[in-house]
Structure 1
Protein backbone atom coordinates (compact mmCIF):
# COMPACT_ATOMS: atom_id res chain seq x y z
CA UNK A 1 0.00 0.00 0.00
CA UNK A 2 1.06 3.53 -0.63
CA UNK A 3 2.33 5.48 2.34
CA UNK A 4 -0.09 7.99 3.87
CA UNK A 5 1.52 11.42 3.98
CA UNK A 6 -0.11 13.94 6.32
CA UNK A 7 1.09 17.48 6.92
CA UNK A 8 1.33 18.88 10.47
CA UNK A 9 -1.72 21.04 9.69
CA UNK A 10 -3.72 18.02 8.55
CA UNK A 11 -2.75 16.12 11.69
CA UNK A 12 -3.85 19.09 13.81
CA UNK A 13 -7.32 19.30 12.20
CA UNK A 14 -7.76 15.53 12.44
CA UNK A 15 -7.10 15.71 16.17
CA UNK A 16 -9.40 18.74 16.54
CA UNK A 17 -12.17 16.97 14.65
CA UNK A 18 -11.78 13.72 16.59
CA UNK A 19 -11.73 15.64 19.90
CA UNK A 20 -14.98 17.36 18.92
CA UNK A 21 -13.38 20.80 18.78
CA UNK A 22 -14.41 21.35 15.15
CA UNK A 23 -16.82 19.91 12.62
CA UNK A 24 -16.54 20.21 8.87
CA UNK A 25 -19.42 22.70 8.70
CA UNK A 26 -18.14 24.86 11.58
CA UNK A 27 -14.45 24.86 10.67
CA UNK A 28 -12.64 27.92 9.38
CA UNK A 29 -11.80 28.09 5.69
CA UNK A 30 -8.24 27.02 6.46
CA UNK A 31 -9.40 24.08 8.60
CA UNK A 32 -11.89 23.05 5.90
CA UNK A 33 -9.10 23.07 3.32
CA UNK A 34 -7.02 20.71 5.44
CA UNK A 35 -9.99 18.47 6.27
CA UNK A 36 -10.83 18.25 2.58
CA UNK A 37 -7.25 17.20 1.85
CA UNK A 38 -7.49 14.51 4.54
CA UNK A 39 -10.78 13.25 3.09
CA UNK A 40 -9.25 13.14 -0.39
CA UNK A 41 -6.31 11.12 0.95
CA UNK A 42 -8.67 8.76 2.78
CA UNK A 43 -10.72 8.20 -0.37
CA UNK A 44 -7.54 7.51 -2.34
CA UNK A 45 -6.50 4.98 0.33
CA UNK A 46 -9.89 3.28 0.14
CA UNK A 47 -9.28 2.64 -3.56
CA UNK A 48 -6.53 0.23 -2.46
CA UNK A 49 -9.11 -1.93 -0.66
CA UNK A 50 -11.77 -4.25 -2.11
CA UNK A 51 -15.06 -2.58 -3.03
CA UNK A 52 -16.86 -4.29 -0.14
CA UNK A 53 -14.32 -3.14 2.49
CA UNK A 54 -16.04 -1.55 5.50
CA UNK A 55 -14.06 1.35 6.95
CA UNK A 56 -16.72 2.10 9.57
CA UNK A 57 -18.78 5.23 9.88
CA UNK A 58 -16.05 7.87 10.26
CA UNK A 59 -13.67 8.34 7.36
CA UNK A 60 -11.41 10.73 9.27
CA UNK A 61 -11.10 8.40 12.26
CA UNK A 62 -10.35 5.54 9.88
CA UNK A 63 -7.56 7.36 8.02
CA UNK A 64 -6.09 8.49 11.35
CA UNK A 65 -6.04 4.88 12.53
CA UNK A 66 -4.39 3.79 9.26
CA UNK A 67 -1.81 6.56 9.61
CA UNK A 68 -1.00 5.67 13.22
CA UNK A 69 -0.60 1.99 12.32
CA UNK A 70 1.70 2.93 9.46
CA UNK A 71 3.83 5.15 11.71
CA UNK A 72 4.03 2.46 14.42
CA UNK A 73 5.37 0.02 11.82
CA UNK A 74 7.81 2.46 10.26
Structure 2
Protein backbone atom coordinates (compact mmCIF):
# COMPACT_ATOMS: atom_id res chain seq x y z
CA UNK A 1 0.00 0.00 0.00
CA UNK A 2 1.30 3.41 -0.94
CA UNK A 3 1.27 6.18 1.62
CA UNK A 4 -2.09 7.91 1.86
CA UNK A 5 -1.64 11.57 1.02
CA UNK A 6 -4.32 14.04 2.08
CA UNK A 7 -4.36 17.80 1.70
CA UNK A 8 -5.41 20.10 4.53
CA UNK A 9 -8.63 20.78 2.62
CA UNK A 10 -9.38 17.07 2.30
CA UNK A 11 -8.77 16.54 6.02
CA UNK A 12 -11.08 19.45 6.79
CA UNK A 13 -13.99 18.04 4.78
CA UNK A 14 -13.42 14.52 6.11
CA UNK A 15 -13.79 15.84 9.65
CA UNK A 16 -16.86 17.86 8.64
CA UNK A 17 -18.44 14.80 7.07
CA UNK A 18 -17.61 12.52 10.00
CA UNK A 19 -19.01 15.10 12.44
CA UNK A 20 -22.26 15.17 10.47
CA UNK A 21 -21.81 18.77 9.35
CA UNK A 22 -21.95 17.91 5.64
CA UNK A 23 -22.93 15.10 3.32
CA UNK A 24 -21.94 14.59 -0.29
CA UNK A 25 -25.37 15.67 -1.56
CA UNK A 26 -25.56 18.93 0.46
CA UNK A 27 -21.94 20.04 0.25
CA UNK A 28 -21.01 23.31 -1.43
CA UNK A 29 -18.71 23.28 -4.47
CA UNK A 30 -15.53 23.52 -2.35
CA UNK A 31 -16.61 20.68 -0.08
CA UNK A 32 -17.90 18.60 -2.98
CA UNK A 33 -14.59 18.90 -4.81
CA UNK A 34 -12.59 17.69 -1.83
CA UNK A 35 -15.05 15.00 -0.74
CA UNK A 36 -15.03 13.61 -4.27
CA UNK A 37 -11.24 13.51 -4.17
CA UNK A 38 -11.29 11.67 -0.84
CA UNK A 39 -13.91 9.20 -2.07
CA UNK A 40 -11.86 8.51 -5.20
CA UNK A 41 -8.74 7.86 -3.10
CA UNK A 42 -10.68 5.66 -0.69
CA UNK A 43 -12.21 3.61 -3.49
CA UNK A 44 -8.79 3.12 -5.09
CA UNK A 45 -7.37 1.90 -1.77
CA UNK A 46 -10.36 -0.37 -1.19
CA UNK A 47 -9.76 -1.93 -4.58
CA UNK A 48 -5.98 -2.18 -4.10
CA UNK A 49 -6.36 -3.90 -0.74
CA UNK A 50 -9.53 -5.79 -1.69
CA UNK A 51 -10.84 -4.55 1.66
CA UNK A 52 -14.56 -4.26 0.93
CA UNK A 53 -15.50 -6.89 3.51
CA UNK A 54 -13.20 -5.29 6.09
CA UNK A 55 -14.75 -1.86 5.48
CA UNK A 56 -18.28 -3.23 5.79
CA UNK A 57 -17.55 -5.42 8.82
CA UNK A 58 -15.52 -2.85 10.76
CA UNK A 59 -17.10 0.45 9.69
CA UNK A 60 -20.61 -0.51 8.68
CA UNK A 61 -19.95 0.40 5.06
CA UNK A 62 -18.73 3.94 5.81
CA UNK A 63 -15.99 4.34 3.21
CA UNK A 64 -14.81 7.73 4.46
CA UNK A 65 -14.55 6.52 8.07
CA UNK A 66 -12.63 3.44 6.95
CA UNK A 67 -10.26 5.57 4.86
CA UNK A 68 -9.80 8.11 7.67
CA UNK A 69 -8.91 5.33 10.09
CA UNK A 70 -6.35 3.96 7.62
CA UNK A 71 -4.84 7.46 7.29
CA UNK A 72 -4.73 7.96 11.06
CA UNK A 73 -3.08 4.57 11.58
CA UNK A 74 -0.47 5.40 8.96
CA UNK A 75 0.25 8.78 10.54
CA UNK A 76 -0.01 7.45 14.11
CA UNK A 77 -2.74 10.00 14.85
CA UNK A 78 -4.73 9.46 18.03
CA UNK A 79 -7.98 11.36 18.44
TM-score, normalising length: structure 1: 0.90
Query: What's the counterpart of residue 45 of structure 1?
Result: 45
**Aligned residue in 2 for 1:62:** 66
Matches within 5 A, 1:1-74: 1-50=1-50, 53-56=53-56, 57-72=61-76
Give the aligned length: 73
CA RMSD, aligned part only?
1.6
Report the TM-score when normalising by structure 2.
Answer: 0.84
Give structure 1 stretches of 5+ with no counterpart: none
Q: Structure 2: state its 5+ residue gaps.
A: none
Q: How many Å apart are 1:31 and its aligned residue?
A: 0.2
More helix by share: 2
- In the TM superposition, structure 1's runs of 4+ consecutive aligned residues that sit over 2 Å from their partners are 50-54
Distance 1:34 1:52, change over 3 A: closer
